[in-house]
Structure 1
Amino acid sequence: MTQTSVRPDTAGSASTPVSPAAPRGRNLEGHGWISRPAEAFTAEALTRRLIGSIQSWRDYPPSLRLWFWLIPALTAAVGGILRFVRLDVPRSLVFDETYYVKDAYSYLISGYERSWPDKANDAFNAGNPTVILASPEYVVHPPVGKWMIAAGMWLFGPDNPLGWRFSAALTGTLSIVLLALIAQKLFRSLILGAAAGLLLAIDGHHLVMSRTSLLDVFLMFWILAAFGALLMDRDDGRRRLAARLGRQAAVYQGGLPSRLQLLFGPWLGIRWWRILAGVCLGLALGTKWSALFFIAGFGLLTVFWDLSARRTAGIRGWISAGIIKDGLPAFLSIVPVAAVTYLATWTGWFRSTDAYYRQWATTNPSADWGWLPDSVRSLAHYHLEAYKFHQGLSSEHPYEASAWSWLVMGRPTSFYYESPKQGTAGCDVAQCTSAILSVGNPLIWWGAAVSLAVLLFWWAGRRDWRAGAVLAAVACGYLPWFLYPERTMFYFYAISFAPFLVLGLVYCMGLVLGRRTDPLWRRRSGLYGVVLFLVGAVLLSAFFYPVWTAEIISYQDWRVRMWMPSWI
């Protein structure tokens, strides 16, 4: 398999130079823009300038097209094996599964959360979830993640761990496919796409979250899907811009677009990929409210991409035109769509009569907001109370971890720990351990932490939009947590931006690999370095795998894997 493009491509970025050429026919010197030949305004020339030579899998050589789809499938197969094998171990609710799995069962039978009696976990672990009570339960997270868990329980039954965790494992595996495709799209390289998929497949943090039914793995998936949709929209929007400018140029003498067209540029129509991104972001918001920061950040990111496209295409008023013709439609395509999608996720609550706070408006009439339907006022009150809960969530926990420590994995979360007795299956020494620790692969996470500084240089210094896109996604998932220093936080929250850390690491691998025009010795040495890193990451994952999947090992072997005192 040959290398298509190893160094991250800068086609269409703000730094792409506009090559001056002798004017042919009518020129635009009086228009305040550089003179260009008429051929520069054909749809084909504009598309190459805005997107690059590789726009989709069809632009790869025929011998590589199969690999475009095979690479994501192979890396997902590796990840799927790691996630589904022994998925029913441990055969009990672990960590916050005690909330979300039981809530999912409530959704399955009622469409909203119901209360549970004391010691309900014992009954649930024994395969008897029918001990659920009829009264509603107050919860503070939206429904989407719990509905997704419920789907697995519907398929495989609510009385076994496979049913509890199937959706998480499937979602984690599908996210590997998404990331490999996104990396191929972002970097125009099959090698880097394979590296991204493999690294996410073997990362311990992503693996643990994919084998445990918490909400965060579903949040991560919808955010990643939204990012991929916006990448597709970026190319689709630029392709539309090139085609419409090209058609406009064709009707004028000399083959140049009118001054009005170059002053404002065309409307680009309904952007379906952007609408899909809005739906995905609405589903992310319907999983956890922290998706709000991604909605804001991704919305600005896609507008900046459109501004850059209009500038690169030669549109003089690219700022005002981009804001009016791209910014306003982007807002309408993302924010209202996400809001409607979010409201739709509460359908079970709306259809109920006795869900928590469902009848609040009936017993609390309001003269100010009485024009709103009672159901909407009740849901608004529900959200207000949940917001107050999140704002005041500050309690000591043995595995709480400040956001400052996340990138270096200073305090990973222990999901499960037991000490099987000698003589039990798998334990033939005096002290044994079976544990699930949500710690990432150190080589991946520490390497990704360093790569963020490299990305910052390439974005600020070289104006590479790819570096900026990855940094923006990491910032949306990471920086907002510093606004709430008093709130109790956990390392596993970082799963929402973990795929983008992998993209940052893979970006740096592209720099190490070099360009196709580099000397052969340079490319070989870069390839050897990348392969060595990947092999090291695989070996390290094999070393840590027992403490990610609750395998029974000796206590001494467990201690060897606790590289920091804070991991214990």
Structure 2
Amino acid sequence: MPIKFDRPLPVAILLGIITQALFCWRLAVPHMLVFDEVHYVPAARTLLTLAHPANAEHPLLGKELIALGVWMFGDTPVGWRAMSTLAGTATVLGCYAALWLLYRRVWTATLGAVLVLLNFTVFIQSRIAMLDGFMAAFVVLALACLLWSAKANGAEAVWARWIGGAMFLGLAVACKWAAAPYVLFAALAFLLLKRGNPHRWPGLSWWAGPIMLGVVSVATYLATFMPAFFYATEPISVSTLLPYQLAMFKLQEQVLPPHTYQSSWEGWVLMIRPIWYLYEPVDGAQRGILFVGNPVIMWGGLVAVAASLWAWARERDVRTGALAGLWVASYLVWALVPKSPSFFYYYYLPSIWLPLVLAGAIHHWHKRGWHLDEALLGAAAVLFINFYPVLAATALDDPGSFHRWTWFASWI
């Protein structure tokens, strides 16, 4: 039987301390720009000087956060990546909060959050200066805040929490446009749940909820462009703010040359083509960073999705079915996004939902006498320890060491 936790706040504090420590350990290694850091760190440096637009195909907030880390800790590897560690910890704690709000069981929330921590994708993105970690953190916090609003008793609290969730969604989109579908997902979920139970979200009508999501998220998104009004060269203004979005869209539509690590969305669920963010001699040793998911979580999560959809269809377990539906929607949306080439790290947000689906499925099937939590945690932890050298860029024995972790030829 799992350990019986019954005090959510102390567990959350302990989980946050452990998570932040793990993300920060040896954060400065490697002492060089890794993978897409070559785009975003120079853009953050330029942003600090307010010289001119840089990396103009993406919104500003993610680069603003990287720049904040550089301003606080210096133009060093720690400065580049410091804010990403905070985003990673916020992601883990946001998942904990969301599961607690859904199930009111501390063990279920802890199980899901620890699985998020042990999933390789979250660990790696929390230690690199890229935009996806910030985007995901704000989406997860939005989910938790919107669920919290459903638990409020009075209309004033409902509105405050709902607006907070909408602001987080706006901040997510301000990091990367890939978060935009989640505004629609939230609106549709609200309408469906409100229709099923009109007493949810007291004081927030069926039409006011989606409108507030749209208005607040868009206003929050636009507010993050304020630094661009002060560029020394090519500043934007109120009149050019919207045309600037069109220019960003055109840059997003660019078809880039083929890339060694490109992959199609259909293969992401099976991790057919992960990415070596780094594999070269650096800091006096051969080092590597393989962006791949924890197989126990990524593949076991697919089984959990099927089991959760079954639980929803057969037993009307709305909570567990909704988590599975969130993964399905966040994955299938990539079938509609005309992005070429595409990469496995686009699957980052769906990979975060899989641990939550696993925790929800285990919670549902636990009452049937199925006790899979300890075995799942143990297997995930063993693989995390085994893969740690190519997650954290520790020193490897020789240039051929990668064979130990490349389970398939397509992983090379």
* TM-score normalised per structure 1: 0.68
Q: Which amino acid aligns with 1:404?
A: E
Query: In structure 2, which of residues 193, 205, 210 is the aligned counterpart of residue 326 of structure 1?
Result: 205
Question: Hey, what's the Cα distance between the residues in 1 that align with 2:207 and 2:365?
Answer: 40
Deviation at 1:74, TM superposition (A): 2.7
Conservation of the 8 A alpha-carbon contact between 1:76 and 1:201? no
Residue in 1 that maps onto 2:79: 163
Question: Hey, what's the Cα distance between the residues in 1 that align with 2:375 and 2:321?
Answer: 27
Residue in 1 that maps onto 2:341: 488
Matched, 1:215 2:59: no
In percent, how many aligned pairs have the same letter? 29
Question: Hey, what's the Cα distance between the residues in 1 that align with 2:95 and 2:54?
Answer: 36
Alignment of 1:231-270 (within 5 A): 231-236=147-152, 239-240=153-154
Alignment of 1:11-22 (within 5 A): none
Question: Hey, what's the Cα distance between the residues in 2 that align with 1:234 and 1:449?
Answer: 28
Question: Hey, what's the Cα distance between the residues in 1 that align with 2:46 and 2:385?
Answer: 37
Query: In structure 2, which of residues 370, 378, 394 is the aligned counterpart of residue 551 of structure 1?
Result: 394
C-alpha spacing 1:269/1:277, structure 2 compared with 1 (3 Å): closer
Conservation of the 8 A alpha-carbon contact between 1:79 and 1:202? no
Residue in 2 that maps onto 1:198: 114
Deviation at 1:554, TM superposition (A): 2.3
Question: Hey, what's the Cα distance between the residues in 2 that align with 1:214 and 1:508?
Answer: 31
Question: Hey, what's the Cα distance between the residues in 2 that align with 1:270 and 1:228?
Answer: 13
Q: 1:487 is paired with a residue of what secondary structure?
A: coil
Residue in 2 that maps onto 1:297: 185
Residue in 1 that maps onto 2:143: 227
Conservation of the 8 A alpha-carbon contact between 1:78 and 1:201? no
C-alpha spacing 1:270/1:510, structure 2 compared with 1 (3 Å): closer
Alignment of 1:488-507 (within 5 A): 488-507=341-360
CA distances 1:248-269 after superposition (whole Å, capped 9, x unpaired): xxxxxxxxxxxxxxxxxxx889
Conservation of the 8 A alpha-carbon contact between 1:513 and 1:530? no
Deviation at 1:355, TM superposition (A): 3.1
Residue in 2 that maps onto 1:567: 411
Q: 1:469 is paired with a residue of what secondary structure?
A: helix
Conservation of the 8 A alpha-carbon contact between 2:320 and 2:364? no
Conservation of the 8 A alpha-carbon contact between 2:43 and 2:55? no
C-alpha spacing 1:202/1:76, structure 2 compared with 1 (3 Å): farther
Residue in 1 that maps onto 2:164: 276
Question: Hey, what's the Cα distance between the residues in 1 that align with 2:38 and 2:57?
Answer: 15
Deviation at 1:379, TM superposition (A): 2.3
Matched, 1:478 2:309: no
Question: Hey, what's the Cα distance between the residues in 2 that align with 1:566 and 1:69?
Answer: 43
Question: Hey, what's the Cα distance between the residues in 1 that align with 2:31 and 2:139?
Answer: 30
The gaps in structure 2 that reach 5 residues or longer are none
Question: Hey, what's the Cα distance between the residues in 1 that align with 2:349 and 2:26?
Answer: 25
CA distances 1:298-326 after superposition (whole Å, capped 9, x unpaired): 1111222222222xx6xxxx9xxx9x962
Deviation at 1:532, TM superposition (A): 1.6
Q: Which amino acid aligns with 1:534?
A: L
Alignment of 1:77-156 (within 5 A): 77-110=17-50, 114=51, 136-137=53-54, 139-156=56-73
Question: Hey, what's the Cα distance between the residues in 1 that align with 2:290 and 2:149?
Answer: 38
Residue in 2 that maps onto 1:69: 9
Alignment of 1:414-563 (within 5 A): 414-419=276-281, 433-484=286-337, 487-514=340-367, 522=369, 526-527=370-371, 529-555=372-398, 556-563=400-407
Q: Which protein shows a greater Rg?
A: 1
CA distances 1:321-377 after superposition (whole Å, capped 9, x unpaired): x9x962221023211011111111000112335236x3xxxxxxxxxxxxxxxx234
Question: Hey, what's the Cα distance between the residues in 1 that align with 2:366 and 2:311?
Answer: 16
CA distances 1:100-157 after superposition (whole Å, capped 9, x unpaired): 11111222222xxx5xxxxxxxxxxxxxxxxxxxx54451100111111112112111
C-alpha spacing 1:3/1:462, structure 2 compared with 1 (3 Å): farther
Residue in 2 that maps onto 1:362: none
Moved more, 485-494 or 188-197: 485-494
Question: Hey, what's the Cα distance between the residues in 2 that align with 1:268 and 1:195?
Answer: 32
Query: In structure 1, which of residues 338, 341, 344 is the aligned counterpart of residue 220 of structure 2?
Result: 341
Conservation of the 8 A alpha-carbon contact between 1:408 and 1:449? no
Deviation at 1:474, TM superposition (A): 2.0
